[in-house]
Structure 1
Amino acid sequence: MKKLILGGILAVAGLATTMNAQIQKGNWMVGSSLATSNFGLNTGGGYQIGIQPKGAYFIKDNIAVGGYVNLGISKSAKTSPTRFDYGVGALGRYYVSPGEKGVDNLLKHGRWFLEGNLGVGGYSISDGGNSTTGLDFGVGPGYSYFITPNIGLEGLVKYAGVTGFGNQGLTSNITFNLGFTIYLPTSKGQQIIKDVK
Structure 2
Amino acid sequence: MKKLIFAGILAATGLTATANAQIQKGNWLVGSSLLTSNFGLNTGGGYSIAIQPKGAYFIEDNVAVGGYVNLGISKVTNGSPTRFDYAVGGLGRYYLSPGEKGVDNLLNHGRWFFEGNVGIGGSSVENGNSTTGLDFGVGPGYSYFITPNIGLEGLVKYQGQAGFGSEGLNSNITFNVGFSIYLPTSKAKDIARDAK
TM superposition score normalised by structure 1: 0.97
- Give the % identical residues: 79
* Alignment correspondent of 1:10: 10
Per-residue deviation at 1:127?
2.5
Q: Deviations over 1:121-148 (max 9, x none)?
A: 01010022x2100000000000001111
* Alignment correspondent of 2:123: 123
Per-residue deviation at 1:188?
0.5
Q: Which runs of 5+ in 1 are unaligned?
A: none
- Which structure 2 residues correspond to residues 1-197 of structure 1 after superposition, within 5 A? 1-128=1-128, 130-197=129-196
Q: Deviations over 1:86-110 (max 9, x none)?
A: 0000000000000313011111110
Q: How large is the Cα RMSD of the aligned pairs?
A: 0.8
The number of equivalent residue pairs is: 196
| In structure 1, C-alpha distance between the alignment counterparts of 2:29 and 2:177, rounded to whole Å | 16
| In structure 2, C-alpha distance between the alignment counterparts of 1:116 and 1:76, rounded to whole Å | 28
Q: Which runs of 5+ in 2 are unaligned?
A: none
Mean Cα displacement is larger for which, 62-71 or 104-113? Answer: 104-113
| In structure 1, C-alpha distance between the alignment counterparts of 2:26 and 2:90, rounded to whole Å | 18
3-state SS of the aligned residue for 2:100? coil
| In structure 2, C-alpha distance between the alignment counterparts of 1:155 and 1:6, rounded to whole Å | 32
Q: Deviations over 1:45-97 (max 9, x none)?
A: 21100110000000000000000000000011222110000000000000000
| In structure 2, C-alpha distance between the alignment counterparts of 1:118 and 1:194, rounded to whole Å | 31
Per-residue deviation at 1:120?
0.1
| In structure 2, C-alpha distance between the alignment counterparts of 1:81 and 1:105, rounded to whole Å | 43
TM superposition score normalised by structure 2: 0.98
Q: Which runs of 4+ in 1 moved over 2 A?
A: none
